[in-house]
Amino acid sequence: MATAFLDHPRPLAFAHRGGAAHAPENSWRAFEHAVGLGYQYLETDLQATADGVLVAFHDRTLDRVTDAQGRVSRLTHTQLSSARIDGTEPIPRLDDLLGAWPDVRFNLDVKDVSAIAPLPGVLRRTNAWDRVCVCSFSASRLRATRRALGRPVCMAASPFGTAVVRFGGPRGRHDPKGPGRLRSHPPQSPGLVMDWLARTGVRCVQVPISVATPSFIGRAQALGLQVHVWTINERSAMERLLDLGVDGIMTDETVTLREVLSARSLWHPRGAS
């Protein structure tokens, strides 16, 4: 089921880009550090090489974080494999990450259209359908990914879906001609909103702290959605969000978040029931 991704005790703790405060972002060293701390959830980004290999990498180009240059989608994986994050770390393949920790769950941000087509094959080979959640800042990429997957997978709301939750979209009516189709505006009643979100596979909203107001959190949770907030690196902000009842926090500061949750008896490491 698409909801299996979210069935861990809350609040969920996500290591953002593996926990970029402690090792180069999206590197094996970062992911290994987070897993060693007990993190059940790793957040990462997806880009695809010219020959269709999915890699955990945020930017469309190598320039910012590696010792190489060029657009990821225009390089073969062989060409990409010589690049080093922060000059020292190889760029991980998604297959390898999913295979390294079969019990760990991955929040996958689809960063480019080229990353959509290879994703179903990776999830099929690793049997990882129930331990991934797919998100994107592009509603069109998210729709295309959902169509390509062809089966239920946990999805985070697109910015449009988040706006439906945030503002209610009280105009227009649902179009029965297809999943997630709207005639002009999102559906009016909470029941129709829930139906619309379910049709699109949306199970959570992942938002910046500026959106995570008490009213937004309450509205989202009333619609049956978990609220995950990014990217929270200050202890005081973590405390404040937990007081508001958020369902998950994404952080680069994985040690700090573990300390905050542990102090509240809310740290649920890998293997917790």
Residue 16 a catalytic site member? yes
Query: Encoding tokens for residue 14?
Result: 């996500």
pLDDT score for 191: 74
Query: What's the chain's Rg over C-alpha atoms?
Result: 18
Q: Give the residues of the chain that fall short of pLDDT 50.
A: 1, 169-187
- Start-to-end C-alpha separation, the chain: 18
User: How many domains does one find in the chain?
Assistant: 1
- Residue 86 resides in a domain: no
- Residue 82 resides in a domain: no
- Residue 100 resides in a domain: yes
- Residue 76 resides in a domain: no
Residue 77 a catalytic site member? no
Give CA separation, 56 vs 38, 72, 95, 202, 218, in Å.
Answer: 20, 11, 10, 23, 33
- Residue 201 resides in a domain: yes
In the set 8, 22, 33, 58, the catalytic residue is 58
- What range defines the domain where residue 204 resides? 2-59+91-263
Measured from the Cβ of residue 167, the count of other Cβ atoms closer than 10 Å reads: 11
- Residue 232 resides in a domain: yes
- Residue 77 resides in a domain: no
Contact 77/108 with Cβ under 8 angstroms? no
Task: Indicate the burial class of 183 (C-beta count within 10 angstroms; 0-12, 13-18, 19 or more).
Answer: exposed
In the set 16, 33, 174, 228, the catalytic residue is 16
Q: What is the CATH number of the domain that holds 31?
A: 3.20.20.190
- Residue 72 resides in a domain: no
